[in-house]
Structure 1
Amino acid sequence: MLAVSAVCLIWLLYALGNILSPFIAAGVMAYVLNPLVEKLQHKRIKRGIASMLVMAFALLLLLSLVLIIVPMLLNQFNNLVERLPKIVDFVQTKLLPWLDEHTGEHIKINTRSVMAWLQSHTGELSNTLKKAMPVLVQQSSNVLNSLGNLILLPLLLYYFLLDWRRWSRGISSLVPRRFIDTYTRITGSMDKVLGEFLRGQLMVMLIMGLLYGIGLMLTGLESGFAIGMIAGILVFVPYLGAFTGLLLATLAALLQFPTWHGLAAVWAVFAVGQLLESFIITPKIVGDRIGLSPFWVIFSLMAFGQLMGFVGMLAGLPLAAVTQVLLREGADVYFKSRFYTHR
């Protein structure tokens, strides 16, 4: 019966994916922000007002990030289109001669053929890039529309925050009293794993975004802050943030700086940032005690994303934490059972 219920629940999540997306997003945000509402309540602020203040703060923060990052990325994209002729010139005058010089007789590069191909396709590539941006914007709009009306998200977040405590008590009251101790222990473990990971990871994302962004700004890289914030936001997937940010920053540095010194400075920012994240920031804030290893994070995001699409990506980490706690509880029961201990 339990297995059938689980299968039906997964099918329902898959079938109602587009409808449930804003609800799941609001639920995850409410879970992360609920302790802030509780703190405001302890200062004798009514829960309705506290929920409104926290919702406004969270949405204002997200809107500020979007308004800062998107224009910078659009500007960087326009610079890429305008500098395509310079890229061709760089390949012709520097890169290909350097390759010919260092490869010697082992690899022969037909410089004229390569350059003829690049020059013949430069205009076509430029036009393609110019046409690609409106298409990408249109597709992004379609994706956002498929997630539901964005105006609904603030409303959902507010009601989640407002009724969070009442819903928690209501679910607890439905549990049979003979199972209440087990329920309390398991949900407490889930809350510890999931809460510490999500809130700690958000703090790591913010710190790394500022670290990368300010570091790239100090190197003089255009749109460096936007690239750094993107790298910080993607930190929750191990190594993806650093790799994506390094790739974008390297491309921007090659387009902007006339010498290798600027590129070396950009690489140094990511090298220092990765060392700080791996050995100081993440261990101190998130810690190894939570138990969500990089392997488990990557697998859960890919697996739940494959099963339930974008909804699975949103709910991947919460479901991974819940699954891990349930597996631990099941293993504990198994190792204490007569089936395992009986000789």
Structure 2
Amino acid sequence: MKYWGIAALVLVLALYFLGNVILPFVLGGAIAYVLDPLADRLERLGLSRAMSVAVIAIVATVIFVLLVLLIIPVLVQQTGSLFTFIGNSVEKTPEAVARLDEWLARNVPILAENNINVADQLRRAADVVQAKGGDLLNTILTSAMSLINVMVLLVVVPVVAVYLLYDWDNMTAKVDELLPRDHVSRIRQIARDIDRTLASFIRGQGLVCLILGIFYAVSLMAVGLQFGLIAGAVAGLLTFIPYVGALVGGALSIGLALFQFWGPLEVDGEMVRQGTDWFRIGMVAGIFALGQFLEGNFLTPKLVGSSVGLHPVWLIFALSVFGTMFGFVGMLVAVPVAACIGVIARHAVESYKDGRLYKGHTDQE
């Protein structure tokens, strides 16, 4: 127990003092871990380890180039335009804002008593979003690029991932040789459980995120929602945290649909009827309802499984704690560390129930 405590302390200190330095190695190791089963499968098909790694690297490079050329520019452009769209949408519907203010003044008297004008507040908020949204986006991108250098992402991380993927089996064998012989079977069992948990969650949940992200983005754009690609990407990415992706993505998409499809229809400058497109708003909500149905009944049971053992609250807590303490690197290692702690805790509970402290002095066979 003493040695495991020392190892945990070393890990915490390394993350705290060397977070930015070890970032490319953490990313490279994570990529190698995720791709190792694919390399093993290619080896079973008759390819050598070097050829398997080369094939994976070529395919990954092609996918990366396609993302850079086709998808990422559209995401950046739509994100930059989103702030202006929100501000302009409020300004284009002054009647609706005025009616909302009148309704609130009539039904919530405290607003009128304190001279609070909701319409003015919304207009001011729209002006701030429109004026500062672009600056905020640039600041976020600049900060991200200062934290994760472009050269690190494009050069160091792939190189580290390729080398680790090539030597992955040798490294695991060397580590196995160093295990204490008296506890080797127990440690191997814990390691297998951790690997099964990580594989089920990271690989399986990653594939679920990808499938749902594509489904949301394509479906939202198909119903004519502006910035549907952004909403789908956000929903797919946040699906990694259970329930959060659907809530945030759904709220964002429905909010955008209300901005876009809600409002009066004008003919010759006169409002002739209410032009709210309830069908498309309902379609947007239905897309997320269908996505949740597919995720809960097909994708997660098939790709992730029910034996992962990572409770959503425990996962969110780990992401929050490690992100606060160690920044971006902490968020990367939060899920593996949470999985390890969960598996070790389950084994500790089993050992406790088999021990004298739990059973007492009487034999409870």
Superposition TM-score tier, normalisation by shorter sequence: 0.7 to 0.9
Equivalent pair of 1:22/1:148 in contact (CA under 8 Å): yes
Equivalent pair of 2:42/2:52 in contact (CA under 8 Å): yes
Partner of 1:277 in structure 2? 295
Partner of 2:313 in structure 1? 295
The amino acid of 2:44's aligned partner reads H
Distance apart, 1:170 and its partner CA: 0.5
Partner of 1:252 in structure 2? 256
Match of 2:212 among 208, 212, 218: 208
Match of 1:158 among 145, 148, 162: 162
> Cα gap change, 1:102/1:308 in structure 2, threshold over 3 Å: closer, same or farther?
closer
Partner of 2:270 in structure 1? none
Equivalent pair of 1:81/1:129 in contact (CA under 8 Å): yes
**Take 1:68 and 1:215, find their aligned partners in 2: how far apart are those partners?**
16
Q: Which moved more, 1:234-243 or 1:74-83?
A: 74-83
Give the match's secondary structure for 2:245.
helix
The amino acid of 2:292's aligned partner reads Q
The amino acid of 2:25's aligned partner reads F
Equivalent pair of 1:190/1:325 in contact (CA under 8 Å): yes
Distance apart, 1:16 and its partner CA: 0.8
The share of aligned pairs that are identical, in percent, is: 30
Give the structure-1-normalised TM-score. Answer: 0.88
**Take 2:127 and 2:116, find their aligned partners in 1: how far apart are those partners?**
18
Residues 161-217 of structure 1 deviation map (CA, whole Å, 9 limit, x = unaligned): 100000000001112333222222221111111112212111211221122122212
> Cα gap change, 1:335/1:215 in structure 2, threshold over 3 Å: closer, same or farther?
same
Partner of 2:284 in structure 1? 266
The amino acid of 1:325's aligned partner reads V
The amino acid of 1:195's aligned partner reads A
Partner of 2:75 in structure 1? 72
Partner of 1:174 in structure 2? 178
Equivalent pair of 1:204/1:282 in contact (CA under 8 Å): yes
Give the structure-2-normalised TM-score. Answer: 0.83
Instruction: Figure out how many residues of one structure are paired with residues of the other and give that number.
Output: 342
Give the match's secondary structure for 1:288.
coil
Partner of 1:313 in structure 2? 331
Give the match's secondary structure for 2:225.
coil
Match of 1:35 among 34, 37, 44: 37
Equivalent pair of 2:97/2:119 in contact (CA under 8 Å): no
**Take 1:230 and 1:311, find their aligned partners in 2: how far apart are those partners?**
20
> Cα gap change, 1:205/1:85 in structure 2, threshold over 3 Å: closer, same or farther?
closer
Give the match's secondary structure for 1:104.
helix
Partner of 1:337 in structure 2? 355
> Cα gap change, 1:70/1:47 in structure 2, threshold over 3 Å: closer, same or farther?
same
Equivalent pair of 2:231/2:249 in contact (CA under 8 Å): yes
Residues 40-76 of structure 1 deviation map (CA, whole Å, 9 limit, x = unaligned): 1112212112112213333543554455145234235
Unaligned runs of 5+ in 1: none
Partner of 1:217 in structure 2? 221
Equivalent pair of 1:335/1:341 in contact (CA under 8 Å): yes
Equivalent pair of 2:83/2:134 in contact (CA under 8 Å): no
**Take 1:219 and 1:109, find their aligned partners in 2: how far apart are those partners?**
38
Partner of 2:247 in structure 1? 243
Which structure would you say has the larger RCO, counting Cα contacts within 8 Å and 6 or more residues apart? 1
Residues 289-315 of structure 1 deviation map (CA, whole Å, 9 limit, x = unaligned): 221121222122222223322222111
Q: Structure 1 or 2: larger helix share?
A: 1
Q: Which moved more, 1:122-131 or 1:269-278?
A: 122-131
